[in-house]
């Protein structure tokens, strides 16, 4: 996410409660009394995605009269968004960008904004407030301090070590949740429901496991309490939401007539499938378009693999081939053909039957979403945190295919593409940054390989947070990766894709 532009020099007034009534159709705005809304949700990770998704479903329910579900937003990493929102009474503009036109909506469901570490004590007070019944999360895969290959708590993570040493002033997400749950328990309050809205497979189950483990390291009784008495429903969340750019702010100011320091730009499509397990209640999100189900897993696997898997594919193929956005990458005939083959040969066969959805129709719709020309979704943004994204998006489906003696050829090529991406420059020689929690280790391996495919691949296979022994046991899969990597190094990404498509 880019940082907010200074609005101080502008003569245009700032978005604010006092002038909300001046916002006229077609722009939508809250027409309910925001001062009568009380907080029911603390949301950790108030970035663009949650403001395009959970906050909008919730806005619809507040507007329909469910006034006890206002959101207290928390940025776990930086004060920038908090400061931007506090300067405009936590109002913000959602720009829904369809190919033909933009639709604007000012959203009022966020009532307060805080940032860690400045406000940790106040955040814990909010989480311990009896009115808080849900703590929801969009902190990205790495926000949980997990070992991505196993989906368990990384107990050697510096933030976990720090929080175990100083558990009442936590800096990690497992530490924060545990401390808040402990405080509620000692105050005789029931635990809030923990709603993970991140792209992890079986996200509720994994987050329960990690938080319970952290709690058990603090105190075994607390660990049992978290494992047995706290609800962690699973969810599948979906809405493509690129980082906000300076030109988006300028466009909003022009259309809205007010400045907004941090609007959110998103696509028209949205989907939310939620496991209905909320002991303390929830907004009637189903009346805002969410699907409440008993078992989210098939929906999660479909989305995580077909959408996010294809996104990561486009990121590594596209950045190396010299494309900037998902839309631009899809204009490359090799990339588009590759994605089709990836869906049909390697990913769709691993998706279990999904109630009410045909996976082929789903991937056709994905193609329409990926080729929306007005969404500037940068491939470098998606390429970040590959060490956390590769396991659930590509390596878990690869293992499932290998176990039934199928050859996930496209996934092998993509693992090779990611390895090539780690060299940090495109085929045309343009340098880019590798953003990853273990970037230093990954790029050191890449730089030491001297351009040799076997050395690069074997160095990276040793990164156990990504490659499990189960996957590495398949020698043919490993060999395919090395062969594809050699081809990418020799022919360039587009040439190697063309050769791959002609051969496979």
Give the interface with ligand CS2 as residue ranges (CB under 6 A): 199, 238-240, 308, 311, 381-382, 389
List the structure tokens of 250.
């300028």
CB of 199 to ligand CS2, least distance (A): 5
CB of 448 to ligand CS2, least distance (A): 28
- What radius of gyration do the chain's Cα atoms show? 23
- Considering beta carbons, is residue 375 or 482 the nearer one to ligand CS2? 375
CB of 377 to ligand CS2, least distance (A): 7
DSSP 100: S
Residue 15 · residue 106 · CB < 8 Å: yes
CB of 311 to ligand CS2, least distance (A): 4
DSSP E strands, 172-225: 193-196
**Distance between CA atoms of residues 14 and 303, nearest Å:** 38
**Distance between CA atoms of residues 411 and 504, nearest Å:** 12
- Considering beta carbons, is residue 149 or 240 the nearer one to ligand CS2? 240
Q: 3-class SS at 457?
A: helix
- Considering beta carbons, is residue 57 or 192 the nearer one to ligand CS2? 57
- Considering beta carbons, is residue 210 or 366 the nearer one to ligand CS2? 366
- Considering beta carbons, is residue 308 or 374 the nearer one to ligand CS2? 308
- Considering beta carbons, is residue 150 or 381 the nearer one to ligand CS2? 381
CB of 305 to ligand CS2, least distance (A): 11
Please give the biggest Cα pair distance in the chain.
66
Beta bridge partners of 376: none
Q: 3-class SS at 411?
A: helix
Kindly report each contact of residues 326-333 with a partner whose C-beta sits within 8 Å and lies 24 or more positions away, as own/partner: 326/370, 326/375, 326/377, 326/379, 326/382, 327/370, 327/371, 327/372, 327/373, 327/375, 327/376, 327/377, 329/379, 330/367, 330/370, 330/371, 332/494
Length of the chain: 504
Residue by residue, DSSP assigns 91-140 as: -EEEEEE-SS-EEEEEE--EEEEEETTTTHHHHHHHHHSTT--EEEE---
**Distance between CA atoms of residues 369 and 387, nearest Å:** 25
CB of 394 to ligand CS2, least distance (A): 12
- Considering beta carbons, is residue 251 or 380 the nearer one to ligand CS2? 380
CB of 381 to ligand CS2, least distance (A): 6
CB of 392 to ligand CS2, least distance (A): 11
- Considering beta carbons, is residue 282 or 389 the nearer one to ligand CS2? 389
CA angle 458–464–468, rounded 5-degree value: 90
Contact partners, residue 243, CB within 8 Å, separation at least 6: 1, 2, 48, 378, 381
- Considering beta carbons, is residue 192 or 370 the nearer one to ligand CS2? 370
CB of 312 to ligand CS2, least distance (A): 6
- Considering beta carbons, is residue 50 or 58 the nearer one to ligand CS2? 50
CB of 364 to ligand CS2, least distance (A): 17
**Distance between CA atoms of residues 252 and 284, nearest Å:** 30
CB of 389 to ligand CS2, least distance (A): 6
CA-closest candidate to residue 394, choices 342, 355, 452: 342
**Distance between CA atoms of residues 181 and 170, nearest Å:** 13
- Considering beta carbons, is residue 374 or 381 the nearer one to ligand CS2? 381
In the chain, the N- to C-terminal Cα span, in Å, equals 38
CB of 382 to ligand CS2, least distance (A): 4
Chain residue at closest Cβ approach to ligand CS2: 311
Query: Any idea which residue has 């999904």 for tokens?
Result: 354
**Distance between CA atoms of residues 457 and 399, nearest Å:** 18
- Considering beta carbons, is residue 47 or 492 the nearer one to ligand CS2? 47
**Distance between CA atoms of residues 42 and 23, nearest Å:** 28
φ, ψ of residue 193 in degrees (nearest 5): -85, 135
């Amino acid at each position: 996410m880019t940082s907010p532009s200074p609005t101080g020099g502008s003569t245009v007034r700032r978005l604010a409660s006092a002038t909300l009534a001046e916002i006229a159709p077609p722009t939508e705005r809250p027409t309910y009394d925001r001062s009568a809304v009380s907080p029911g949700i603390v949301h950790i990770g108030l970035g663009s995605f949650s403001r395009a998704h959970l906050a909008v479903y919730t806005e619809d329910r507040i507007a329909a009269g469910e006034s006890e579900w206002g959101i207290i937003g928390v940025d776990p990493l930086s004060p920038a968004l908090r400061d931007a929102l506090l300067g405009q009474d936590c109002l913000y503009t959602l720009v829904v960008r369809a190919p033909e036109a933009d639709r604007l909506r000012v959203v009022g469901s966020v009532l307060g904004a805080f940032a860690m570490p400045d406000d940790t004590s106040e955040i814990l007070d909010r989480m311990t407030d009896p009115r808080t019944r849900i703590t929801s999360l969009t902190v990205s895969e790495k926000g949980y301090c997990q070992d991505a290959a196993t989906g368990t708590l990384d107990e050697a993570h510096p933030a976990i070590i720090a929080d175990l040493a100083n558990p009442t002033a936590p800096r990690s997400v497992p530490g924060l949740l545990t401390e808040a749950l402990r405080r509620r328990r000692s105050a005789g309050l029931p635990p809030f429901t923990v709603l993970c809205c991140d792209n992890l497979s079986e996200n509720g189950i994994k987050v329960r496991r990690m938080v319970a483990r952290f709690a058990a390291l603090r105190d075994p009784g607390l660990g049992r309490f978290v494992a047995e008495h706290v609800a962690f429903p699973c969810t599948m969340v979906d809405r493509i939401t690129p980082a906000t750019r300076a030109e988006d702010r300028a466009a909003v100011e022009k259309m809205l007539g007010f400045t907004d320091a941090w609007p959110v730009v998103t696509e028209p499509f949205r989907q939310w499938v939620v496991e209905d397990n909320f002991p303390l209640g929830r907004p009637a999100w189903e009346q805002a378009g969410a699907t409440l189900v008993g078992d989210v897993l098939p929906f999660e696997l479909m989305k995580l693999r077909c959408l996010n898997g294809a996104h990561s594919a486009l990121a590594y193929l596209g950045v190396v081939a010299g494309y900037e956005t998902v839309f631009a990458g899809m204009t490359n005939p090799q990339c588009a053909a590759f994605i089709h083959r990836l869906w049909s040969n390697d990913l769709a066969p691993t998706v279990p039957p999904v109630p009410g959805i045909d996976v082929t129709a789903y991937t056709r719709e994905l193609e329409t979403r990926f080729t929306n020309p007005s969404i500037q979704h940068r491939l470098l943004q998606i390429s970040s945190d590959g060490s956390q994204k590769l396991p659930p998006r590509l390596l878990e489906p690869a293992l499932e295919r290998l176990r039934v003696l199928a050859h996930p050829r496209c996934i092998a090529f993509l693992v090779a593409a990611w390895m090539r991406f780690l060299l940090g420059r495109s085929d045309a020689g343009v340098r880019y940054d590798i953003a990853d929690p273990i970037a230093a280790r990954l790029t050191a391996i890449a730089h030491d390989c001297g351009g040799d495919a076997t050395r690069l691949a074997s160095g990276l296979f040793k990164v156990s947070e990504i490659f499990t022994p189960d996957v590495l046991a398949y020698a043919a899969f490993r060999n395919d990766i090395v062969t594809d990597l050699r081809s990418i190094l020799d022919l360039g990404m587009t040439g190697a894709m063309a050769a791959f498509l002609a051969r496979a």
